Structure 1
Amino acid sequence: MVILPPTLGDPIARETAAPYADWLRARHAAGATLGSVCAGAFVLAEAGLLSGRAATTHWAYRDALAIRFPDIALDTDRLVIDDGDIITAGGYMAWT
């Protein structure tokens, strides 16, 4: 299990997320379940792991994630989306 944490600032920039993308794809391919909380979804999205999938994030990041990654089936009305091998949670405490 790999969990990508939230942030108190702006979502991660593409160039900052890039070094993690290959590692995350490799962990996922090896069978790890990946999870994100809040803006952690941007890291999964940068790795291409949310393409074509349902996902959520904090409502405050909804528009930014939707614009940057239009291929995600974004649903911020759901607090947690369990898509089997990838789980996304909305706000910092949404998973509880």
Structure 2
Amino acid sequence: MLLQTSPTIPIDDIKINFDTNGLWILNIAIAVIMFGVSLGISINDFKRLFKKPKILFVGVLSQFILLPAATFLAILLIEPHPSFALGMLMNAACPGGNVSNFFSK
């Protein structure tokens, strides 16, 4: 992975170049992380979702509606560089589950 930048290059001109080996390492790391997260899930978690589907609804609503809306409002308030604003929205809309789990408990 090679980051090409200098102090005088605008943020939109920065390029991250992944070689084939770097992508393999990244894919393996993501797979290990996803597997590690899945180890914390049990059958009882699924049973609880079937008994109380409100938990799932609140989590999905939080992740895909509330968090992106709150991020959009924050972008309007702080007016970051457009590239940062796009990154903020993408992070808010990605189903990471960290915030939705917090709201649904």
The TM tier, using the shorter chain, reads under 0.3
Higher relative contact order at CA 8 Å, sep ≥6: structure 1 or structure 2?
A: 1
- Give the structure-2-normalised TM-score: 0.24
| Structure (1/2) with the larger helix percentage | 2
Max radius of gyration: which structure? 2
